[in-house]
Amino acid sequence: MTLDIRPIAGALGAEIHGIDLDVGLDAQTIAAIRQALLDHLVIFFREQRLPPDRFLAFARRFGRPVEYPFVKGIEGHPEIIAVTKREDERVNFGGIWHSDTTYLAEPPMGTMLIARAVPPYGGDTLFANMYLAYETLSDGMKRLLDGLKAVNSSAKADTARTREDRVRSDPTARSAEAFLAEHPVVRTHPETGRKALYVSIAHTVRFVGMTEEESAPLLGYLFQHQIRPEFTCRFAWRPGSLVFWDNRATQHNPINDYHGHRRVMHRITLAGDKPR
């Protein structure tokens, strides 16, 4: 089938209309969706009825779902975690700019999120294009960064705080572990060959061979540069909205502006490779 793809911003992001993900999609349609992901970095679908088993089946058409180390999956589906903020909670899950789990040796290639319950207002998610973040740097800065690696940690204070409610309510056997991984500051996308800035305020603590204090000035600049408004798009959720983003070339940030209301998403992450 021919996909109805409508970009939502100049930097990244497109909605795909007129498709029901709960029916059997042929290989050509799956390939077209994957190409849309590569072209737009994050793609959005509306009014999808996918229950957990069908959500998982759809995700498997694009890769291998992997379990999240800190929070237990939903009943019967360990690869699906509930991204929840209850009415009485003040901190939202993952509420900081980041690429998912860059503290792992092989971070996921992509993430899917489907809305089960949304607040009456607020709770949008921002996305940022890390190709643009790299490509708009000066030639001198590119030369400096191209040879650097960075240390990424799961224990960075702000990030740990954004998951503490779910770790407390749904812990795994590994919830108390701290994960560390070294990755290139600039990674090359394995499918497109484009370079992307691969540090984040959530997980990156220092450059390899430098102290945190020495690394802080340059990292601080990069953290601000990579989320410039012209690199971003914003998505407003409705029940049944499904989002699929390329974790290798984007960052995202769920906005925590709906205190007193409940928001529930189901998330699947797909296995990736070692950044290069």
Distances (CA, A) of 173 to 31, 69, 167, 176: 37, 8, 11, 8
Give the catalytic positions in this structure: 98, 100, 252, 267
Three-state SS for 36?
helix
**CA of residue 181 relative to chain centroid, distance:** 17
Per the CB < 8 A criterion, the answer to whether 32 and 21 are in contact is no
Question: Would you call 141 helix, strand, or coil by DSSP?
Answer: helix
Nearest to 203 by CA among 226, 180, 222: 180
Question: Furthest-apart CA pair in the chain: how many Å?
Answer: 54
DSSP letter string over 90-135? Answer: -S-TT-SSB-TTTTSSS--SEEEEEEEE--SS---EEEEEHHHHHH
What is the β-pairing status of strands 263-270 and 65-66? antiparallel
Bridge partners of 204? Answer: 152
Specify burial of residue 90 (Cβ count, 10 A radius: 0-12, 13-18, 19+). Answer: exposed
N- to C-terminal Cα separation, the chain = 35
The strand pair at 204-207 and 242-246 is best described as: unpaired
Total number of residues shown for the chain: 276
